[in-house]
Amino acid sequence: MHDALHRVGLHHVVERAGHDVDAHAPWLQHLSPGEIQRLAIARVLLQHPLLVVLDEATAAMAQDMERSVHSVLVSAGISVVSFGQRESLMGLHRRVVVLDGDGEGGWRWLKGGEEG
């Protein structure tokens, strides 16, 4: 657990809990929205799935932390599918599909594939 928290930049949370990761506390009251999102990513690292689907999972993070967290997932061998509105997500993926929202099910490849 300590390693996963450190890898997503939450080592200070362990220190705040007196190094007791099982400490009971009203964590949602003490963590920022971005820290809560990083805590969720740390839980993914502990489970180590082959694939993770993230829906606005980094929206409350600063862009440098978003890049860092994505890199941590990929370096752990976890394939990442992201859904989000932030343009910064596009730079983190080899393939990007844009859903047009035209009511007709339209979509297109933005990079990494052919126009759809």
| pLDDT single digits (tens) 23-80 | 666 667 778 999 999 999 999 999 999 999 999 999 999 999 999 999 999 999 999 9
**In the predicted structure, residue 15 carries a pLDDT above the cut 90:** no
Contact between residue 97 and residue 108 where contact means Cβ atoms under 8 Å apart: yes
Q: What is the pTM of this model?
A: 0.81
DSSP code of 62? -
The domains found in the chain, sorted by start residue, are: 2-111 (3.40.50.300)
**In the predicted structure, residue 97 carries a pLDDT above the cut 90:** no
Contact between residue 46 and residue 21 where contact means Cβ atoms under 8 Å apart: no
Return the top range by mean pLDDT from 10-14, 34-38, 111-115: 34-38
